[in-house]
Amino acid sequence: MNGAESLVHTLLKSDVDVCFANPGTSEMHFVAALDRIPGMRCVLGLQENIVTGMADGYFRMAGKPAATLLHCGPGLANGLANLHNARRARSGVVNVVGDQATYHRQHDAPLTADTEGWARGASHWVRTSMSAAQVGADAAVAVQAARTAPGQVATLVLPADTAWNEGAVPAEALPVPTPSVADPLVVRSIARVLREKKNVLILLGGAALRGEAQALAWRAASAHGAKLLSEVSNARMTRGQGAYPLERVPYPTDAALQAMSWVEHLVLVNARAPVGFFAYPEKRGLHYPENCEIHVLSRFEQDAEASLRALVEELGAPAVAMPDPGPRPEAARGAPTPEGLARTVAALMPEGAIIADESVSFGRGFFKETFAAPAHDWLQLTGGAIGCGMPLATGAAIGAGGKRRVINLQADGSGMYTLQALWTQAREKLPVTTIVLANRKYQILLGEYQNVGANPGPTAMGMLDLGNPTLDWVKLANGMGVEAAQATSLEQVADLLAQSCAQQAPFLIELVI
Amino acid sequence: MNGAESLVHTLLKSDVDVCFANPGTSEMHFVAALDRIPGMRCVLGLQENIVTGMADGYFRMAGKPAATLLHCGPGLANGLANLHNARRARSGVVNVVGDQATYHRQHDAPLTADTEGWARGASHWVRTSMSAAQVGADAAVAVQAARTAPGQVATLVLPADTAWNEGAVPAEALPVPTPSVADPLVVRSIARVLREKKNVLILLGGAALRGEAQALAWRAASAHGAKLLSEVSNARMTRGQGAYPLERVPYPTDAALQAMSWVEHLVLVNARAPVGFFAYPEKRGLHYPENCEIHVLSRFEQDAEASLRALVEELGAPAVAMPDPGPRPEAARGAPTPEGLARTVAALMPEGAIIADESVSFGRGFFKETFAAPAHDWLQLTGGAIGCGMPLATGAAIGAGGKRRVINLQADGSGMYTLQALWTQAREKLPVTTIVLANRKYQILLGEYQNVGANPGPTAMGMLDLGNPTLDWVKLANGMGVEAAQATSLEQVADLLAQSCAQQAPFLIELVI
C-alpha cells in the first residue's frame, strides 16, 4: 500500500468521509487513491478559499471535520482567509496539503514555498510527514486534533514521495478527549454572583448557543433577573420558534459600549469578553465597562450544556417557559429595507432552514425580525475575513445532507471574493438560495470613512464604490450554471424565495438595495 | 501630519505613484490621505490576489514598483499566491498592510492574525512600524528594498494608530544600489569555456532576456558555436522581429532532459540551472545531465547586459545578424489548435503588444509560431501558482501606460481563480484582450494523472473536469462589464481579436478547444 492509500483508509476509519478539493500535480497519487478506494465524497472548488470555506460550513452543520486537499504552499495560501474564519469559528478541519517530494525540496523549484510557515497562522496543529510509513499515523493524529472540542484546524503536509512510496499502513481512529464540565467550585461561585449581584449579563458563545444549552441559560438567568446576550460573531446559533430570542453584542463600538453600559458582572459561558473588531482613536477597545467584573463559568473547549445544567441545579432555578416571540412575521412589501427583508425571509423560510449570513452592514438588524421564524440555524462570518458566505453556504448544505434549505444573505462586495462557490452549488445541485444585497459599494467602509472625518473625494470613492461598472449578479450566476433573477422590491424577493425553496437546486436573487 | 500622510508623501518622493488597493477599516486613514494628497493613481481590485497580481504585472512593464494597500493578515493572505509569483518573477512590490492598532493587538480581535508571519514566506523584506514618527522612514526603506535589483517584495505592516497619530515626517528617497557586473576573472574563465569546450549551452534568465542583452548573448554564442535557451518560466522576454528566436527549456521532465541531453557545459546568465517543477518517481529532478559542468557568468541580481558585453569583448566576438525568423505568419483557419492559435495571434497582434501567458498545457508550443510576429513582450506565470494571468494582464496594461495592447492567453481553470480582474479592466478601460482557452478541464492534471498509471474513474474526474456545469465565460465577462464573445474556429478568433485591438477597452474571447 502506498502512502496516499493509507491516508484515505485512515481518514475513513476516523469517520472523515467528505473531501473538499482543488488538487494539483503533487496530489495526483491522492486523487488516484480516492478514485480506487470507495467511501469518500469528493467536492471540487474552483479556488482554494472556496474549498476551505466549504470545510468550515460543513463542520458547523455536520459536527465532524471534512478533509481538504490543497496544492503546495500557494494553494494553501489561497485558502488561508477562510481557514482563519474556521479557526475563529472553532471548526474542525483536516487540511491535506501535497508538497514537493522530500528530496526535491532542496532545489527550490518554482512552486516551493514555506508551506508549514503559512499553515501555522491558521492552524492549531501542523505536521509534515517525512515517509510513506508515517502518513497513516500522522493522519490519525491530525483527525484527533481536528475533533478536539470544540474543533480545531489541523494541517498535514504530505511531500509527494510520501504519497507514492510503498510500505504505508492505515492507522486506527484515535480517542478524542471528552470536554470537561465547569468545576463545582466555579459553579457555586457563579451561582452566588447570580443570586447576590445586580446588573448581571450572561454572555453565551460557541456550544452555549445551541438548543438545550440556550434553554438552561435562560432558566439560570431568569431565576434572579440576569440578562442574556451572545457574542457579536457566532459560528452557529439555534434560532426561531422554540429558541431564546437572543440578541448579539452590537458590532459598532459606540453601540456595543451603550448596550453593555449597565453591566456590572459579566458571566462568560463558552464566550470571550467582548472586544472591538478594531480600535478607534479615543475609544475604548474592550466592549464592556471599566469596572465590570468578569466571571468564567465555562471556557470554549468545555461542555456548555452540562456546565449550565450544573448551574441551574446549584441555583435550584425553576423551569421557565421561553419568551413568546409572537406570531410569525408576514412578508413585507415595497422597497427593500433591512427589516423588511428580514421579515420576508422569516415569513418564507422553510422549517429547519440554515441562514449563512455575510450581510455585513445591511444585516445588523436581521436578528430582531427573525425571532418568530420557524426553527432554524444561523451561521455568521466569525473571523472578519470577508468572502466567507458563499463557500460557507455551500459546505453547510453538504454538511446538512442536502436536506435543508440554505439561505445565504450575502453582501455584494464580500460575495465577489469567492463567487466561484456558485459553480460548486450548481455542480452538486445544492439547495442554496443566495440573496445578494447589491448596494454596489463597500458600504461598511463608507461609514468608517465618514467616521474618519470627511466625505470621500474621487480617489477615496474609487476605492469604496463598486458601481462603475455595475456588477450583474444574474449573469455571473448564470455563467456558473446557477439560475438567477434580479429583484428591486420585497414582493419580488418573496416570489423568488418561495419559488427557489421548492426546488432541489441553487438559485440566486440579486436584490438591488 | 499623521502617519498615513507621511506614507503617501514618502511613496511619492520615492517615485511610487500607483497603488493597487483593497482597503478595509484599518486602512481608512490611508484612504483619506490618498484622497487629500494628489499624485497617486489608486486602482481597486475586488480580491487581494487581483491586487498583488496587478502589482506584479505593473512592475514587469513599468520597471518600478507600485504599492499595494491590503487589509490585515487575512487580506494579505488572499494575495499571497500572486506575491509568490511576483517573488519568483523578481518583481519589485511595496505592500502596505494595515493592521490592528499597536495597543489593540493584545485583545486578539477577530481579524487579528500573524500578519508578519504570513508576509515572510512571500517577501524579501518585512517590517512593522510601531509609531507614526517611524512610518516615513520605514516606507523609504521598503521602497529601497523593492527597487533593489532586479526587484524584491517588501511588506510594511502599519498598525492603525501609526496611521492616525500625528508627529509623522515624510522621508526622502533612499539610494538604490547599482547592479554589479561580472568579475573580469569570471568573464575570462567563461570566455575560455566558450572557446575551448564543445556542447556549450548559454541559459538566459531575468534581465538577460531583454533587448540588447539577447543580441549580445547571441553574438557571444555564435562566436564558437554555443547554443542559447531561456529558463522555462520568465518574467518578461523581448520577442518577435528583431529579437533572438529563443526557445525555453521544456516544462515536462522527459522533454527537458531530452532537450538538455547534449549539454556538457551550462553557462548561466542571470539564470538558475533548471530543475523540475515537481519530482516524479525514478526521474531526475535536475533538468540537466549529471556530468554537465555549470558556469555562472552573472547572478540574477547582476547587470546581465554589461556582463554579456564584457564577455563579447573578451571573446572579440564579431557582430552578427540575428537569425531571420522568416515572414510574419498568416492567421490560421479551421478548428483551434495550439499552433494555429499562436500563428493567428502572431498575425494580428499590434506592434508592441504584451502577451500575458497563463495558457498552461495548451500553450507549450506557442513560442515557435510567434518568432516572426511584430516586436512584443511576453510575460509568463513564474511561480506556478495559478491565477496569475488576468491580474498580470491588468497590471501590465497600466504599467505600459495604457498605450500597448495586452493579449492574455488564459487557461480556463486558472482563469477562474482570479476572474474578478476583468472588472478592474472594465473600470479602468484597459486595452486587454483575454483569450480564454476553454477546454473545460484541468488538462495538465489529466496528463499528470495518466502518468500516475490509470485512466481516471468518476471520483478522479470529479476533481479534474470542469464541464459540469459548463462555465459560460461570455456571461461571466459581461457580468463584470467586459464585452465578450465565443469562438469555436480560428477565423472567429481572428475577427474578434482584430476587432478588439481597434478599441481602447477590454474584450474577452472564449475559445472552445
pLDDT digits (tens, 9 = 90+) for B84-100: 999 999 999 999 999 99
The residue-averaged pLDDT of B92-119 equals 97
Please tell me the distance from the alpha carbon of residue B311 to that of residue B111, in angstroms, as a whole number. Answer: 54
- Residue bearing the bigger pLDDT, A78 or B452: A78
Identify each DSSP E strand in B178-239 by its residue range: 200-204, 227-230, 237-239
A390 exposed, middle or buried (CB, 10 Å; 0-12, 13-18, 19+)? buried
Contact B31 A275 (CB under 8 A): no
Distance from CA of A111 to the nearest CA of B (A): 5
**Stated length of chain A:** 513
Distance from CA of A65 to the nearest CA of B (A): 20
Q: Does A413 touch chain B (CB under 8 A)?
A: yes
Minimum-distance CB partner of B42 among A24, A81, A463: A463
**Which homologous superfamily does the CATH classification assign to the domain defined by B184-315?**
TPP-binding domain (3.40.50.1220)
Distance from CA of B443 to the nearest CA of A (A): 11
Contact A67, A11 (CB under 8 A): yes
Which positions in chain A touch B126 (Cβ < 8 Å)?
none
| Cis amide leading into B469 (omega within 30) | yes
**Residue A74, number of CB atoms within 10 A of its CB:** 30
pLDDT surpasses 80 at B453: no
What number of H helices and E strands is found in chain B?
Answer: 21, 17
- pTM value is 0.98
pLDDT surpasses 80 at B454: no
Question: What pLDDT is attached to residue A81?
Answer: 98
**Grid cell 487540511 in the structure block, residue:** A95
* A161, A451, A459, best to mutate vs chain B, most B CBs in 10 Å: A459
Please tell me the distance from the alpha carbon of residue A446 to that of residue A426, in angstroms, as a whole number. Answer: 34
- Phi first, then psi, for residue B72 (nearest 5°) are 60, 180
The residue-averaged pLDDT of B111-133 equals 98
Please tell me the distance from the alpha carbon of residue B154 to that of residue B67, in angstroms, as a whole number. Answer: 10
Share of chain B above pLDDT 70, in %: 100
CA atoms within 13 A on the CB side of A184: 2
Please tell me the distance from the alpha carbon of residue A217 to that of residue A219, in angstroms, as a whole number. Answer: 5
Question: What pLDDT is attached to residue A451?
Answer: 80
Between positions 362 and 401 of B, the ones with CB within 8 A of A are 382-385, 387
Q: A338-512 has which CATH code? A: 3.40.50.970
Question: What pLDDT is attached to residue B364?
Answer: 84
Helix (H, G, I), strand (E, B) or coil at A19: strand
**Grid cell 463584470 in the structure block, residue:** B480
Between positions 145 and 184 of A, the ones with CB within 8 A of B are 160-161, 164
**Grid cell 480580491 in the structure block, residue:** B47
Question: What pLDDT is attached to residue A245?
Answer: 97
Share of chain B above pLDDT 90, in %: 96
Please tell me the distance from the alpha carbon of residue A470 to that of residue B358, in angstroms, as a whole number. Answer: 27
Name the segment(s) of chain A with CATH classification 3.40.50.1220. 184-315
Cβ-Cβ pairs closer than 8 A, A with B, add up to 315
Closest of A443, A444, A395, A435 to residue A415, by C-alpha: A435
Q: For residue B493, give the amino acid letter.
A: V
Helix (H, G, I), strand (E, B) or coil at B158: strand
Distance from CA of B44 to the nearest CA of A (A): 5
DSSP A248: B
Which positions in chain A touch B104 (Cβ < 8 Å)?
275-276, 278-279, 285
Q: Does B238 touch chain A (CB under 8 A)?
A: no
B486: enclosing H helix or E strand: strand B483-487
Which positions in chain B touch A419 (Cβ < 8 Å)?
420
Topology at the third CATH level for domain B3-164: Rossmann fold (3.40.50)
Question: What pLDDT is attached to residue B5?
Answer: 97
Strands B153-159 and B93-99: parallel
- Phi first, then psi, for residue B97 (nearest 5°) are -115, 110
Q: Does A244 touch chain B (CB under 8 A)?
A: no
By CA distance, what is A419's nearest residue in B?
B420
Please tell me the distance from the alpha carbon of residue B408 to that of residue B508, in angstroms, as a whole number. Answer: 9
Positions of chain A with pLDDT under 70: 453
Residues 6+ apart with CB under 8 A from A349: A355, A373, A374, A376, A405, A407, A501
Name the segment(s) of chain A with CATH classification 3.40.50.970. 3-164, 338-512
Q: At what angle do helices A304-315 and A184-196 cross, to 10 degrees?
A: 60
Please tell me the distance from the alpha carbon of residue A496 to that of residue A345, in angstroms, as a whole number. Answer: 11
Between positions 471 and 510 of B, the ones with CB within 8 A of A are 471-476, 478-481
Helix (H, G, I), strand (E, B) or coil at A188: helix
Minimum-distance CB partner of A479 among B88, B453, B479: B479
B441: enclosing H helix or E strand: none
Q: Does B323 touch chain A (CB under 8 A)?
A: no
Between positions 202 and 231 of B, the ones with CB within 8 A of A are none
**Gyration radius (Cα) of chain A, Å:** 24
**Residue B313, number of CB atoms within 10 A of its CB:** 13
Minimum-distance CB partner of A113 among B32, B84, B416: B84
Residue B451 binned pLDDT confidence (cut-offs 50, 70, 90): confident
**pLDDT tens-digit readout, A120-142:** 999 999 999 999 999 999 999 99
B435: enclosing H helix or E strand: strand B432-438
What's the N-to-C CA distance of chain B in angstroms? Answer: 57
Q: How far is residue A270 from each of residues A228, A292, A312, B217, measured CA to CA in Å?
A: 13, 18, 16, 68
Contact A285 B103 (CB under 8 A): yes
Contact A449 B121 (CB under 8 A): no
pLDDT surpasses 90 at B194: yes
Minimum-distance CB partner of A475 among B120, B463, B478: B478
DSSP B505: S
By CA distance, what is A39's nearest residue in B?
B459
**Grid cell 556542447 in the structure block, residue:** B199
Nearest 10 degrees: Cα torsion B497, B502, B508, B509: -20
Listed range (A148-162, B264-278, B336-350, B458-472) with the worst mean pLDDT: B458-472
Q: Does A277 touch chain B (CB under 8 A)?
A: yes
Residue B365 binned pLDDT confidence (cut-offs 50, 70, 90): confident
